[in-house]
Structure 1
């Protein structure tokens, strides 16, 4: 099933009509009674920002509080003196990526507070109360040891992993991708990209850059082996092979009169056969007449959207002779594996209890492939960001709220669910990691009556919704100690 361009246009118009109405606090939102209560705004750097409504006279600005305010000031570009004890991060225009940077900066400054605690707290005053809560493990729980799992896997797999530099458990996301990749004969989750090399690029230097990156990052030399041992709670092991000394490139010369498309399809078939032998990253130097290309074939189990950008950025660094940064994956992998357990299962069973299916009705049961339409918004991004700051919400919250209301309208139901992609990178160190950490999780949105237009809901997991309702979310937030892979 799919939504055609005309329907998509009408849906976007509905969203923009609601957002446009919300820009006028004294006006009414279509179909809603009540107006938004006015807020005090002050000009700061040419933009309006919300004035703190609570005096700082009862708050003690300790050195630690001063450090937090200083780091918030530097990230947001807001003068320190204008940041009150109850000024929220969202009102300053910060988002989830900025929160990750803030947690890292505070850690370096000696203030230990997790990303999830910062998201929950939002203000300096509340962050001060969260610092002590983040000291040490809760309840002294000891989870799965990645070193012990590697020992078990090496012992169980024996000759299959002989000579490997590392044998690590695959994540649930990787296991799902690998299983479907193999089941499909490597037609799914084994992807190919053909890149045209610009004139003036030193192809030999580019090839050396790729070789340096593959040698540096273990995930790019990884293959997967099924685990049959019932004593090990892992479906696949990711096996890291030593860096190749014979080169990783193949070369193909094509006559100028040949059809590049058909020749490329032949190269893809060769790549698929190589993948079946465990070669999950392959590079081909293609010369088509005077034009130069290279073909990258890579399993999706080796990367996500975030690390794909990092991959090309590191190739650029290596090409320019710059040093490569390669954080270890062992600690994040251990944390990810330990996030799945009885608590996570209990959380998701509760959060999704009684959830009806949220499926668009099929319009064409014989449709094949992907139907994609992109329509630019008529609302400038600056206006949307200003609205989010004034409403004390993030862009992500606004987008999810708009989609929840739109989905509810289409399905004629107030309890809906949809998927969101999380980066699962909650430190600056993991932001540089080349590893598939991203995950898609379910968001359950329950819309219920509240006659104010976009009320400022302050409860945990709640955000105001345009259209006169409150949308409450049940969603796993990385680092909060609940939820997990779903």
Structure 2
């Protein structure tokens, strides 16, 4: 068969063409003719005379007879479709830029597995990925049409010799600015369209469909084309080692022409193609656009495919990336209303986006990160913000503080920063230790009964530490030295553990630290002893072969609960228990010396030592960390912020009845706790970022206080901890991930509940971000009205990582042992006040209310929620039923907030 002698009539999107020009002007069609059925013709010539004839004429008759029905079908599908075409260079006959993509075998296998589970093809997943790019990065609407190259063999079981390819207009309606369908439903929709494009229905004339669409277009000036992009899936090709390319369906997009940029002519300005070869998915995107813009789209396509693979139950399109039609602009769009629209194609923004996606990883839970998306809403916590801030500086030269990121910055904000970006501080490395005042050192050594040469450092206590110690004193030196219990393998003995303990104490300053007051009731110091101090003085070993390990744990914990520290030695105790059927370790460390992050650092390092290894990273010294924190503070700015925050705050004393005699704060305590199975609305909330979840929990608690105290601006204590702290002006940032010092603070929180839910949630998230700057203040409590309730939120999903970001999922010698009830609660309810004389008895606590109420919410990684409440039994006149009512009311409010958010 000669190219020059061939003339074809195509009822597709082409007209009669002379084959002499055909192979020059339309190489894509000619390649298909070459590659798709050349092999069959060759087979016939080479001896396949007994094979059945592959006649084209019957198929052509079938196509012609079904034209009207198929044209009607596709025209109906696009009848009301509207869009604004993108401007592409009109003088380019072919694609000017291209980018290659690939998916390695392991990820391809995962994709295949997910597709099999959903009953869809890989082609559907790839098509949906391209649709997502069209919606978010190009047309910014949830309703798009694109061209798909299809091929058919009549009834799909008879091979045809002749042109059996076509381009069809496929429409994807995924949603709009107010919401989109999830990935699973979108895949089913795309697969349904793929199935509809089979058989005679696949041969509809695109020219006629497009003419009919334009005639019914709303508005005088209809676009010249129904779509501007083409999608091609070549299927599975032969091995790369073979020279036979005959099975390749669409060679033109493989840039096989003499010009490396592609063929001599491209009908569409955007062409994306995929094929599988050697168990690797390969893709190529070609466009009539500058190379940097094509690379940007390529990154978006890769991210979209990743989203399709991992986010089956989340919206397929990020509505933040869509144009808002006749609706109030979102909070994010308001912030950026005056900024130029980057339309997803700015190289600088894409570089930032790539770093963000790398840092956030799976934390986003399948959420698409758009250029205007607030990063704190896609799983970026303060730890990840620290990592992102470092990478932005190292790789892109952008100095962005953690404070700015946590306050709600997005990719657009970061990438459009002026050249004179703020520079973070050097994390305290410039600070030189100040010489200890000899008189202070001598006095403290005398108070502690320690030789002066053992005093390594004396620094002021942090505000959070002060709050903990004040409450400890107020409650009769109880409740802040709770046990941490771990099971230990049988192979470990007493001496081995004692050696590891000594090494651990030498590494972590907090394990050699205690507190003393100064000459006034406001002076409070933390004193760290040198590494020469022997930690064995705080180590004991018990053996009892007549008891099981659980019995020995219970007995030892009960006995130790009644013991309180005098603070003359470091506030830590370690016990080694050896019973008939196992061994255990009990660690007690005063809560003024650890928070949720630092206790995990201690666990990690002890585990490494017990496994025979060494501590990988030496924590930043306590003295250096404290001095760094104090040096970035700006007292005047702190006071101004807290005066503003608390300007309308109301005194809020929960559970107090003025008619009843106030009982002593040293009386009995109560504690109730329960793990709840969240309702659907709450489950949906818990899938959001930790900052969004925390905001909803705080709002629900504030409304609960409003109900029980009749305060419209209730005030309560909020526990907060961050491993990144910033100066109030945002010019300096401290990275404290390598410091085992606790950054936990207790600050007054007040909120005007007359505002709308949306406004309140936004206010709370803004305040949480500001706490990275203002939580370490000394004076917030003095500016606040009296309050007696405290809210503590814990997200059990953060794992301590090394500085290079590696996870610490290593073999564990320590296995956490959860104490059973009522033993677990006994320390907080049955412990009697202690009369022991301590080194901080002079600390002023007169400003504290008589009784306190503590409300704890623990959000588990698996989505479970544990709520506990504890406090003085004197609250609520001793009626425990009222505490249960309060918990129930909180859960009801949380459900209401979740429903409105969902």
Q: Taking structure 2 as the reference length, what is the TM-score of the superposition?
A: 0.41
1:302 is aligned to 593
Match of 2:685 among 378, 384, 398: 384
Distance 1:87 1:190 in 2: 42
Q: Which of the two has higher C-alpha Rg?
A: 2
Q: Distance in 1 between matches of 2:556 and 2:412?
A: 63
- Which residue is equivalent to 1:135? 423
Asked if the contact 1:115–1:426 (Cα under 8 Å) also holds between the matched residues in 2, the reply is yes
* Cα distance in 1, alignment partners of residues 765 and 581 from structure 2: 58
Structure 1 residues 357 and 474, CA, compared in 2 at 3 Å: closer, same or farther?
farther
CA deviation map 1:208-230 (0-9, x unaligned)? 32222111111111122332389
Alignment partner of 1:38 out of 175, 178, 188: 178
Aligned to 1:424: 722
Cα distance in 2, alignment partners of residues 120 and 158 from structure 1:
45
Deviation at 1:169, TM superposition (A): 2.5
- Cα distance in 2 for partners of 1:77, 1:424 equals 20
CA contact (8 A) 1:252 1:286 kept: yes
Structure 1 window deviating more from structure 2 (216-225 vs 43-52): it is 43-52
1:97–1:397 CA distance, 2 compared to 1 (3 A): farther
Paired residues of 1:153 and 1:237 also in contact (CA < 8 A)? no
Tell me which of 612, 615, 618 is aligned to 1:326.
618
Q: Equivalents in 2 of 1:206, 1:188: separation in Å?
A: 27
The counterpart of 2:398, out of the listed 111, 115, 120, is: 111
- The answer to whether structure 1 residue 53 and structure 2 residue 337 are counterparts is no
Structure 1 residue 206 corresponds to structure 2 residue 497: yes
Partner of 2:669: 369
Cα distance in 2, alignment partners of residues 186 and 355 from structure 1: 30
**153 and 256 in structure 1: CA distance in 2 versus 1, 3 angstrom threshold:** farther
**Equivalent-residue separation in structure 1 for 2:710 and 2:653 (angstroms):** 11
Which of 749, 762, 770 is the equivalent residue of 1:477?
770
The structural deviation recorded for 1:471 is 7.1
State the match for 1:253 in structure 2: 543
Of 690, 700, 713, 1:415 maps to 713
Structure 1 unpaired stretches of 5+: 1-35, 465-469
Aligned-partner Cα distance in 1 for 2:379–2:322: 18
Q: Equivalent residue for 2:821?
A: none
Q: Contact 1:393/1:463 (CA < 8 Å) preserved in 2?
A: no
Residues 270-317 of structure 1, C-alpha deviation per residue, up to 9 Å, x if partnerless?
Answer: x646x4532422223233455433333322222122211221121111
Distance 1:473 1:446 in 2: 14
SS in 2 for 1:446: coil
Structure 2: how far apart are the matches of 1:294 and 1:57? 57
1:415-446 Cα shifts (integer Å, max 9, x gaps): 22333322121279523421121112222221
Larger deviation, residues 117-126 vs 399-408: 399-408
Partner Cα separation in structure 2 for residue 291 and residue 421 of structure 1: 37
Offset of residue 177 of structure 1: 3.6
Alpha-carbon distance change, 246 to 413 in structure 1, aligned in 2, over 3 angstroms: closer
Provide the rounded CA distance (Å) in 1 between the counterparts of 2:582 and 2:764: 54
Tell me the CA shift for residue 198 of structure 1: 4.5
Partner of 1:337: 630
In 1, Cα distance between the equivalents of 2:670 and 2:569? 29
Q: Output the CA distance in 1 between the equivalents of 2:576 and 2:490.
A: 15
Give the deviation of 1:117 after TM superposition: 0.6
Alignment CA distance shift 1:442-1:189 (3 Å): same
1:178-219 Cα distance to aligned partner (Å, 9 max, x none) = 455567674453344454435455554433322221111111
Q: Please point out which of 102, 105, 124 is paired with 2:411.
A: 124
What secondary structure sits across from 1:337 in the alignment? Answer: helix
C-alpha separation between the residues in 2 aligned to 1:192 and 1:400? 28
Q: Cα–Cα, structure 1 residues 407 and 100, in superposed 2: closer, same or farther, change >3 Å?
A: farther
Residue 358 (structure 1) aligns with:
652
The one of 741, 753, 759 equivalent to 1:435 is 741
Aligned residues: 422
Give me the whole-angstrom Cα distance separating, in 2, the residues matched to 1:357 and 1:246: 45
Report the 3-state secondary structure (helix = DSSP H, G, I; strand = E; otherwise coil) of the residue aligned with 1:353.
Answer: coil
1:69 matched residue in structure 2: 353
Once the two structures are superposed, residues 249-268 of structure 1 have per-residue CA deviations (whole angstroms, 9 ceiling, x without a partner) of 32233462698455655556
Q: Offset of 1:343 from its aligned partner?
A: 2.5
Going from structure 1 to structure 2, the CA distance change for 1:400 and 1:133 (only over 3 Å counts) comes to farther
Correspondence 1:101 to 2:387? yes
CA distance in structure 2 between the aligned counterparts of 1:449 and 1:224, rounded to whole angstroms: 43
Q: How big is each residue's C-alpha offset from its partner over 1:143-162, in whole Å with a ceiling of 9 and x where there is no partner?
A: x97733xx244453236243
Q: Distance in 2 between matches of 1:370 and 1:254?
A: 33
CA contact (8 A) 2:572 2:587 kept: yes
Residue pairs, 1:172-211, within 5 angstroms: 172-178=463-469, 181=472, 186-201=477-492, 204-211=495-502
Secondary structure of 1:448 counterpart? coil
* Superposition RMSD in Å: 4.2
**Higher mean Cα deviation, 472-481 or 104-113?**
472-481
Q: Distance in 2 between matches of 1:449 and 1:185?
A: 40
Task: Determine helix, strand or coil for the equivalent of 2:440.
Answer: helix
Partners of 2:765 and 2:545 lie apart in 1 by 60
Tell me, in whole angstroms, the C-alpha distance in 2 between the residues paired with 1:337 and 1:200: 45
Instruction: Report the TM-score, using the length of structure 1 for normalisation.
Output: 0.71
User: Separation in 1 of the partners of 2:415 and 2:520?
Assistant: 48
Answer yes or no: is 1:241 the counterpart of 2:530. yes
Q: 1:85 aligns with which of 371, 388, 394?
A: 371
**8 Å CA contact retained: 2:545, 2:580:** yes
CA distance in structure 1 between the partners assigned to 2:775 and 2:567 by the alignment: 37
Question: Equivalent residue of 2:677, what SS?
Answer: coil
Cα distance between partner residues in 2 of 1:190 and 1:393: 29
> Following TM superposition, by how much is the alpha carbon of 1:60 offset from its aligned partner in structure 2, in angstroms?
7.5
Following the alignment from structure 2 to structure 1, what is the Cα–Cα distance between the partners of residues 343 and 681?
Answer: 40
